[in-house]
Amino acid sequence: MSGYLGSFVHQVDAKGRVALPASFRRGSESESFILIQVHEDALSLFPHSSWRPVEEELRELIRKQPEARAGVLALTASALEVSTDKQGRILIPDRMRELVGLRREALFVGALNKIEIWDPKRFRDSTEAPDPKFDPFIESIFA
């Protein structure tokens, strides 16, 4: 199975629940993910297989650069393990939704090793004019 791909808009219900897109569910039922805000504008959802190396690298960073400890701690403090319920939904705490401007609609975006969760409008604004400087690099990757 390859990485996460595609984009899907789902409703956030009154209880803060959102259905994880079916194509992002790997195992049969009730899997769990790490929910964390890595970037300014979006939440990230890591399956355990992708999270493990991240965790290793974070510890490695602290070992080599102890001054990075506070920054790493701020990240881990606001991260969270979430599980799908029997209907395949995850619960996103209100606080986290506010951080990235999520309202009634959540856009799930496949980003290879992880899933990003965006407010649809913000995503459009952030990706509508990608920097053409990188086009040659990207083109050559697909050649």
Partner DNA sequence: GGCTCGGTGGGGAAAAGTGGGGGAAAGTGG
Partner DNA sequence: CCACTTTCCCCCACTTTTCCCCACCGAGCC
**Nearest one of 33, 39, 47 to 2, comparing CA atoms:** 47
Residue 49 binds a second copy, judged by CB under 8 A: no
**Nearest one of 72, 97, 89 to 33, comparing CA atoms:** 89
Distance CA 138, CA 143 (A): 9
Span of 12-20, 73-81, 84-92, 98-106 interacting with a second copy by CB under 8 A? 73-81
Encoded tokens for 120? 């649809």
Residue 80 binds a second copy, judged by CB under 8 A: yes
Distance CA 138, CA 142 (A): 7
CB-wise, 29 or 38, nearer to a second copy? 38
Residue 89 binds DNA, judged by CB under 7 A: yes
Q: How far is the CB of 118 from a second copy (least distance, A)?
A: 9
Instruction: Give the interface with DNA as residue ranges (CB under 7 A).
Output: 8-11, 13-16, 18-22, 25, 30, 83, 85-89, 91, 93
